[in-house]
Amino acid sequence: MMEIKIERTATPKAKPEGALGFGKYFTDHMLIMEYTEGKGWHDARVIPYAPIALDPSAMVFHYGQEIFEGMKAYRTEDGRTLLFRPYENARRMNNSCDRLCMPKMDEDLWVECIKAAVAADIDWVPEEAGASLYIRPFMIATDPALGVRASNHYYFMVIMSPSGNYYPTGIDPVKIYIETEYVRAVKGGTGFTKCGGNYAASIKSQVKAHEAGYTQVLWLDGVHREYIEEVGTMNVFFKIDGEIVTPALEGSVLPGITRKSSIELLRKAGYNVTERRLSVHELEDAAHNGKLEEIFGTGTAAVISPVGELKINDEVITVNNGEIGPVSKWLYDTLTGIQWGRIADENDWTVEVKA
């Protein structure tokens, strides 16, 4: 395994006081590793958090060869620091690399990089209930050259941000509407990757949603504009007449680790979970027949985000009286219980980081 050098800051920052929010504060250190064609990944180091200098012609600025991941470190009541399924993030980033012609990384090295970064700033992992250290690994193309092609040099970096409880005043179901004008992804495109361009293209719909008084949009497939894909930057689940349905992974949906974990936990608990296509019409029918029992989004940031209101065309549908449903509640308690070490980790999903 490559040695990861550690250069500690001489001027540690004061820890933020008051509400942490999300993605506002950054820790004292960051990890950086370089890739050079013919040499591979090299020079992994944890260094003081600081701006980086890039040539204005660096390819990432022009052609968007950029991918990222999102994960958290959790502080348990007995003082341990846990990561949740980090090898899943490593694998997903390698799948993003493959699609964007960026250099893959050994999964063990990837997880070692995350651990080294978190270990350097372990005193930044918040202890308040529900707070965590958000971890943002990312990779950028840095060749100083124009012309569309794969870069020959890259940076892999890890930055970290202490973040507050996503639900400071308790879980509040969100209002969403179905986006029929813009699409997020199409089969054959980059929808299954966490590449920056996907998110740049989604901002317009987010602005529209906020202007209309909604929190998020429900994305439809780009071809038929008929089948449900995701909600905002979360995967989505529906409970219809006892069956739990989530869109199948056919290339345009992001394969969420919270999605995967939810499916595994639900199946283990005896629920009937189906990964399949679900049309807006089926959803409308279910709502009209009183069979739409719950809707919830899944993702690292919120873990489980219940949907209380859904707008389809001109009709507003209230889901489970606008309250969190029993399946959403059970999943939220179970997942957060495992992540914060409150309940037994029977699946060996957590990985401890030691300073």
Ligand X SMILES: *Cc1c(COP(=O)(O)O)cnc(C)c1O
Q: Which residues bind ligand X (CB under 6 A)?
A: 70, 194, 230, 233-235, 254, 256-259, 298-300
The least distance separating ligand X from the CB of residue 155, rounded to whole angstroms, comes to: 21
The least distance separating ligand X from the CB of residue 6, rounded to whole angstroms, comes to: 28
- Please say which residue, 146 or 223, places its beta carbon nearer to ligand X: 223
Can you say how many angstroms the Cα of residue 293 is from the centroid of all Cα atoms in its chain?
A: 26
Cα angle value 158/77/74 (rounded, 5°) = 20
Q: Within a 13 Å sphere around the CA of 313, how many CA atoms are in the beta-carbon half?
A: 7
- Please say which residue, 287 or 295, places its beta carbon nearer to ligand X: 295
- Residue 289's identity, in one-letter code, is N
- Please say which residue, 48 or 197, places its beta carbon nearer to ligand X: 197
The least distance separating ligand X from the CB of residue 162, rounded to whole angstroms, comes to: 18
Distances (CA, A) of 64 to 68, 102, 141, 199, 232: 12, 12, 8, 11, 21
Cα angle value 66/69/74 (rounded, 5°) = 155
User: Strand pairing partners for 306?
Assistant: 296
Distances (CA, A) of 16 to 20, 161, 298: 7, 11, 28
- Please say which residue, 65 or 298, places its beta carbon nearer to ligand X: 298
The least distance separating ligand X from the CB of residue 33, rounded to whole angstroms, comes to: 22
Crossing angle of helices 257-268 and 86-100, in 10° steps, is 130
- Please say which residue, 16 or 70, places its beta carbon nearer to ligand X: 70
Count CB atoms within 10 A of the CB of residue 243.
15
- Closest residue to ligand X in the complex (CB): 256
The least distance separating ligand X from the CB of residue 222, rounded to whole angstroms, comes to: 14
The least distance separating ligand X from the CB of residue 319, rounded to whole angstroms, comes to: 20
- Please say which residue, 28 or 221, places its beta carbon nearer to ligand X: 221
